[in-house]
Chains A and B, each alone.
Chain A
Amino acid sequence: MIPCPFRIRTVRRETQDTFTLELEPAGGSERFAFKPGQFNMLYVFGVGEIPISISGDPANAGVLMHTTREVGTVTKAMGRLKRGDIIGVRGPFGTPWPVQEAEGADVVIVAGGIGLAPLRPALYHMLAHRDRYEKIVLLYGARTPSDILYRRELQRWRAQFDLEVHITVDRAMSGWRGNVGVVTSLIPRAPFDPRSAVALVCGPEIMMRFTVLELQRRGVLPSQIYISMERNMKCGVGICGHCQLGHCFVCKDGPVFRYDRIEHLFERREI
């Protein structure tokens, strides 16, 4: 429960309002093991602590990566940190993406906006063990072309023959040659077998709601869909109750949930 000091190796600007911190243990040699989909509590000393999902490669336990958007006091302060600064880290917390359970099946990953960050470790894992999966399809929606995260990596993945990447933006000026439209519009024609595919979904809750509907329309069962929920996590271990969602604590029972297990909570307004 006590934050461990981590040193910032690099601060990489991803888009106008998002950045990635690359951290290493300030003490030196400790390694930081995590599973794709888990999150850490990051503490900017003197400002506050917030939950941020881990966005790096789970196979590279020497470097910890977090991508976040500057929206609140803590993330704005985080964005002002520089190489060599120290940040507190507690974690990893939460449930992972079902990368083992998805073995042998098609995997369709639907990400919206900054929601690509928690899914990136799952992609790293699946690409490192490519022979264990059938088709892997990434459907990614962003607000505008300049809001697309991990551009270089997406281009590299796009060039691979064993991964399908489809990107769409909600709006664009006429120079953009890619898709324009909501991310759900990519689902009907995405090349995956709905009878066996496992879907991993992360993004704003309203986007996930419509994505789940579209996946179900395509024939994917609720038990094949996993979503990552975001709530105001505080303690990270299911004690404080800040992130309670019905009978679940998002920090401990989530953030990754199988959809059929929280379907009844997902659509409830008062939660």
Chain B
Amino acid sequence: MRTLETILSEHPFFKGLPERHLKVIVGCASNVSFGEGEIIFREGEEANCFYLIRQGRVALEVYAAGVGTITIQTLDAGDILGWSWLVPPYRWHFDARVVEPVRAIALDGECLRRKCEEDHDLGYELLKRFAEIITQRLQATRLQLLDVYGLRS
């Protein structure tokens, strides 16, 4: 059976992370699974973890009055779900709903924040990785906002 440490070390998000940091992170990790249709978190709730999706698909949704529930992005195996645990006020900004059954590794945000405060090297390594993901998502969102397939194209 593959250990959490092996799974985390093989994940692209943690690629190149020193073993000592990985050992600390494993202490905050646990295996989780969610069934189809299940809500992993809801907008406004406390954001105290993030997920490494190993299998399945999650939709990030927002409810707009008079329009309904809009999916703004889907995340699949290999993706990271959630960064609100990292930034005050630690609240989710969207709903995360399971589209296809999910197996993931949940990482306790409170635990990680504490450990990052204690070890700034670990904090910097994690922030670098999250900065990359946040940048990619921001760029993708900008492209989405351009509405390139809209009437003007």
Residues of A within 8 A of B (CB): 71, 112-114, 141-143, 147, 170-174, 176-182, 184-185, 189, 203-204, 206-207, 210
Contact = CB atoms under 8 A, between A and B. Distances in A.
B59 A184 contact: no
Nearest to B67: A173
Given A172-B70, A176-B71, A184-B143, A207 B59 contact: no
Contact of A181 (B78, B99, B144, B148): B144
B147 interface: yes
Contacts of A184: 140, 143
Contact of A172 (B71, B97, B100, B146): B71
B153 interface: yes
A170 B142 CA distance: 11
A259 B57 CA distance: 34
B70 A173 contact: yes
B150 to A, nearest CB: 7
Interface residues of B, number: 25
B31 interface: no
A203 B148 CA distance: 9
A185 B57 CA distance: 14
8 contacts: A143-B150, A170-B147, A171-B72, A172-B70, A172-B71, A177-B100, A181-B140, A184-B143
B74 A182 contact: no
Contact of B144 (A142, A171, A178, A189): A171
A189 B73 contact: no
B69 to A, nearest CB: 4
Interface of B: 57, 59, 61, 68-74, 76, 78, 97, 99-100, 140, 143-144, 146-151, 153
A174 B71 contact: yes
A147 B70 contact: no
A230 to B, nearest CB: 10
A178 B148 CA distance: 19
A204 B144 contact: no
B149 A173 contact: no
A106 to B, nearest CB: 20
Contact of B74 (A147, A181, A206, A207): A181
Contact of A182 (B97, B99, B144): B144
B132 to A, nearest CB: 12
Those 5 A-B pairs whose CB atoms lie nearest each other, nearest first = A113-B149, A174-B69, A143-B149, A204-B153, A204-B148
Contacts of A143: 147, 149-150
Given A112-B149, A142-B149, A182 B143 contact: yes
B71 A173 contact: yes
A268 B99 CA distance: 42
Given A113-B153, A184-B143, A204-B149, A179 B70 contact: no
**Which one of B72, B147, B153 has the greatest number of beta carbons of chain A within 10 Å?**
B153
A113 B71 contact: no
B118 to A, nearest CB: 33
A205 to B, nearest CB: 8
Given A173-B68, A174-B71, A71 B151 contact: yes
**Which one of A171, A180, A184, A189 has the greatest number of beta carbons of chain B within 10 Å?**
A180
A115 to B, nearest CB: 9
A171 B99 CA distance: 15
